[in-house]
Structure 1
Amino acid sequence: MTLPSAAGLRRFLAILSVLTLAACQGLPEPPAPLGSPSPNQAPPAPPPATPSEATFAFEPFTGAPGNLADDLSRYIGIEAQKQGLILVRRVGAASNYRVKGYLSATGEPSSATVFYVFDIVDPAGTRLKRISGSETVGGTKGDPWQAIDSATLERIANRSVVEIVAWLNRR
């Protein structure tokens, strides 16, 4: 019997931590596979607000160091403006949707991976859409967050905002 490598174990634990963070939010159902509803679940209902009326408030990100969370917030704001997505930036301001973000990173000397999950919820807290993915970059010794650079955060922001806009515009 062979034991998993330390890198494999770290990767498994990072994925497990992202899933655990998402599960701690009291969601009534497990996440569906990307792109399709589970066999016993109807597809998510279309968003109630029209694209021109929809407003989004991003909650503080869970899991990422403050400086990277701040940078990601800034890149999401830039991307939202490019894509015509209306963000509410005042704490506690009313919005049609809230976005809860969860991030985790794992690394080894040759690579580091950041995992992200964004849940779009309605004012009652019901999850309407989940966006998730990962980005792998060159590694670093020690803290894997040190390998996450601005280009990585820009890609996460772009992919996330594009998915939100696509969800919002589907009919």
Structure 2
Amino acid sequence: MRRFATIIGLMLLAPLFSACAGTDVSGLNPQPGRGIASVEAQRGDGGVAGSSASQAAAPMAQEGQTVAAVSTDARVQFAPVIGATEEALPPLSSRLSARARQRGIPITQGAGATHVVKGYFSAIADGNETTVIYVWDVLDPSGNRLHRIQGQQKVPGGEGDGWSSVTGQTMETIADRTVDDLAAWLTRDAS
């Protein structure tokens, strides 16, 4: 019965994620200061990170392995994330920046971005596991959706709202997959 409730919950979330793909880039974060940009600013490493390189996209690498950089003129801005807890944002933000740097994707804050990436997260506890569902909309500067990256990551533990079971390593895995999918798309889009 619990699994059925989870499936129904996921089906109810799908329209929400689709509705979030509107054209207004401003006012995304209903709680200011919780987005990736603000985490970067607090750490002091905001601004442009990464540079272009000239290799094709590579599959996701395990920790400690090198990944191939892509050749792209894109300058990506990550908008504030919706749905993740404040504790989940620092590992996500740090890893997004690091992985983008590895992949040769410049990250920028504010003006000059060619792509804005909005993230929507949900954690659903079910029995003794939690599923983190993530959706990233890649938008042009006008707010038109160009691409969508989505997935889910299961973690052990299913207490409370689910977020208490989500570790920094889980968020880093999601960041790696996100940037690798973005790199693959940017490479295909440039061809």
Please give the range of the TM-score, normalised by the shorter of the 2 chains: 0.7 to 0.9
SS in 1 for 2:82: coil
Which amino acid in 2 is paired with 1:60?
Answer: P
1:82-93 superposed matches below 5 A: 82-88=102-108, 90=109, 92-93=110-111
The CA deviation string for residues 110-165 of structure 1, in whole angstroms up to 9 with x for no partner, is 10000000011101111111000000010132120111112211111111101111
Which amino acid in 2 is paired with 1:21?
Answer: F
Cross-structure match for 2:8: 12
> Is contact 1:57-1:98 (8 Å) kept?
yes
Count residues with an aligned counterpart: 143
CA RMSD of aligned residues (A): 1.9
1:1-171 superposed matches below 5 A: 5-26=1-22, 51-88=71-108, 90=109, 92-170=110-188, 171=191
SS in 2 for 1:52: coil
2: CA distance, partners of 1:18 / 1:93: 31
The CA deviation string for residues 74-111 of structure 1, in whole angstroms up to 9 with x for no partner, is 111111111111101x3x33200000100011012310
Q: Structure 2 length as normaliser, TM-score?
A: 0.68
SS in 1 for 2:87: helix
* Distance apart, 1:69 and its partner CA: 2.2
Greater strand share, structure number: 1
Segments of 4+ moved more than 4 angstroms: none
1: CA distance, partners of 2:140 / 2:22: 14
C-alpha spacing 1:65/1:112, structure 2 compared with 1 (3 Å)? same
C-alpha spacing 1:134/1:140, structure 2 compared with 1 (3 Å)? same
The CA deviation string for residues 22-57 of structure 1, in whole angstroms up to 9 with x for no partner, is 314337xxxxxxxxxxxxxxxxxxxxxx94321000
1: CA distance, partners of 2:167 / 2:18: 24
2: CA distance, partners of 1:70 / 1:12: 30
* Distance apart, 1:18 and its partner CA: 4.8
Moved more, 77-86 or 5-14: 5-14
Q: Structure 1 length as normaliser, TM-score?
A: 0.76
Percent sequence identity over aligned pairs: 34
Cross-structure match for 2:52: none
1: CA distance, partners of 2:111 / 2:90: 19
Cross-structure match for 2:40: none
2: CA distance, partners of 1:58 / 1:158: 14
The answer for unaligned runs of 5 or more in structure 2 is 24-69
